[in-house]
Amino acid sequence: MNAYERMLEVMKRQGKKTTPPAPVLGRMGKGGKIKLGNLVLEKSDYLLDCSLRLAGEKKTYMHIGPPAGEAELAVSAHNSTLEEYTENILAEGDQVLLLRLENGGFRPYILLAKVVEPG
């Protein structure tokens, strides 16, 4: 390897250190797994944006109006102002956008969004 080739290799290594990772598209699988090409991520391999949730996980409820009274606030099962939040649920086959974190030896992914076709 001549001096120019060595210099080029040094420049490539340094460039990798400062180049941010590119977002990648994945596909949701069963049990919260995500397929990225040949790589399969388990739930422990990624963090999830707080506005998203996995199908089959705990249900989320939102208040849709003011309560009728204090008694209604005390018992959530009878609260008529609560409605199940059914948006942004990730199901098998959904396309998702992920970003890999460069964080020392441990490199989790962040699931940023569910991606859909326009229209």
What are the residue boundaries of the structural domains of the chain, listed by start? 23-58+88-115
Q: What is the mean pLDDT of the chain?
A: 81
**What CATH number was assigned to the domain covering residues 23-58+88-115?**
2.40.50
The closest of 107, 63, 69 to 82, measured between CA atoms, is: 63
**Residue 46 Cα to chain centre, angstroms:** 7
Report pLDDT digits (tens) over 44-64. Answer: 899 888 888 888 767 777 777
Provide the sign of the torsion angle of the four alpha carbons 30, 31, 36, 39, taken in this order.
negative
DSSP H or E run through 18: helix 3-18
Report pLDDT digits (tens) over 104-114. Answer: 556 689 999 99
Total-model pTM = 0.65
Q: How far is the C-alpha of 41 from the C-alpha of 112, rounded, in Å?
A: 15
